[in-house]
Chain A
């Protein structure tokens, strides 16, 4: 159990890497889309929030895993 803290940190750090890239790409595309078609801004924003939430869910899972490991420390 002595490496549990290290494992928790690595799990959260690596697990958040993917979703953060995904949310960044989605936001970039959404900004581009709003720039091209400002009338559709409302729909694009809704879709962005939904997609961001779905991508973020996996990052949150790694966060939960990190918390589970963190409770094993000490």
Chain B
């Protein structure tokens, strides 16, 4: 055994040094009380890439697209078709928000597998910094609550504070109040899980890349995990967008049809077009 170790590790066996990424970006400079971190810089890079892509694609638009315009049109069309398939026309109205979220998170996720980019101390993968994810989740949260209030009026609150069950008896009333409380806590929980799902996946991916690069000593053996990281990044940005669509649809759902359509939703869900029901624009208009 000793001979084997002596043969494999002529300089003696040492545990590999594993580079563990930081939870957040480290501060680069500060203006007043606000310090700007390496995540900010990486976000600026992502935004610059997206902006330049958009400007290049729309600079000389042609009737028959080619080159970069063709590519961007393909991406946008695919995105709109996907969103329409999931959420119907109500979701298509919100493509500017959803598409921006998707593209921003996608590029932020993929920035970490570009060689020599986030390995420097100047850049930190934005979605592996929970402040960024919390900001995204908070934006979505505020927007869908606002949409719910605008669509349902003040009756939107009745899904959390509901005393109408007391008409049918004390027991039903108490159950309705408890259901409202659970709904309220699930709203707050959504904010938390939306943040932590993205952060956990992306930070876990960073750790995986670091650990595999350290354990698989031969250069290039960690490449399959880079592929895995690309896939996880795509899936997680899709998931963030899908959940945003779902939260918008739940907020738009009027409470009167809430209970019946809930039962229907399960029955229809098994037939495979769950979100298409009950969101006709006429029904939603308050």
Contacts and interface: CB of A to CB of B under 8 A. Distances in A.
Interface of A: 33, 37, 40, 42-44, 46-47, 49-50, 53, 56-57, 60-61, 63-64, 67
A40 B85 CA distance: 11
Contact of B85 (A42, A49, A60, A61): A42
A40 B238 CA distance: 19
A53 B239 contact: yes
Contacts, number: 49
Q: How large is the interface on B (under 10, 10 to 19, 20 to 34, 35 or more residues)?
A: 20 to 34
Determine chain A's interface SS by DSSP, over half rule. helix
B235 interface: yes
A53 B244 CA distance: 13
Interface string B11-23: 0000000000001
Contacts of A53: 197, 235-236, 239, 242-243
A33 to B, nearest CB: 8
Given A37-B272, A64-B200, A50 B239 contact: yes
19 contacts: A33-B272, A40-B272, A43-B85, A46-B85, A47-B272, A49-B235, A49-B242, A50-B239, A50-B242, A50-B246, A53-B197, A53-B236, A53-B242, A57-B193, A60-B197, A60-B200, A60-B201, A63-B200, A63-B204
